Structure 1
Amino acid sequence: MVTTTSTKLSTILLGFRALSDPIRLQVLELLKSKELCVCDLCEKLDISQSKLSFHLKNLKEAKLVRSRQEGRWIYYRLNLSQFAILEGYLFQYQQFQDILSKSSCQES
């Protein structure tokens, strides 16, 4: 059985919480293809910069996105290593599929 440290569990929790909002999911969808600046994200999502900043802050705290500043603009990109951590956490539950399949066959 794989154990998860409280720090890692906290990171996982922040990640899934960040994924629970439709606007943040839209931001991530846009960032899948390329790095974008805040102005591009605002335009594509048709939301104000202040509203977008709130969502980007959540995504950054969850370590799902990274940012860099170029001049006066901030550019965002996906942090794929954090997605790998979330994927790894969910992957642990795949083992239950085999267990459940075997137990349902035995009950028949």
Structure 2
Amino acid sequence: RFLELMPTTVVPLCSYFCTIRSQPTGIEFVDSTSIKVCHNLRIPRHKSLSGLASRGKGTMGWFYGFKLHLIVNHKGGIVAAKITPANVHDTQPVSGMVVNSMDKLYADKGYIS
């Protein structure tokens, strides 16, 4: 059922993001958060996102789902966003999200590479 609704929700979600997206101000912050799909004990029975979600590790331990990566400016406006499977390292999507007008980009220790 979820995969049937997904194509109909992606377009409105993307258009909403385009209306609230902010411009880089020169001082940006990047971080990620987990989007858990199901409890770890239910992973073998989980069917709706089995081809898309994956197992990953966050600050609170192992989880099954996705990661939401955000870059926000110093005013709190969302500059860039990306959703990846949970097993993607935090440093991988950042290079595609950064633009030249970002003078300083601050991140936590997980982004050191």
Give TM class, smaller chain. Answer: under 0.3
Normalised by the length of structure 1, the TM-score is: 0.26
Q: Which has the higher strand share?
A: 2
Normalised by the length of structure 2, the TM-score is: 0.26
Q: Which has the higher helix share?
A: 1
Q: Which has the larger radius of gyration?
A: 1
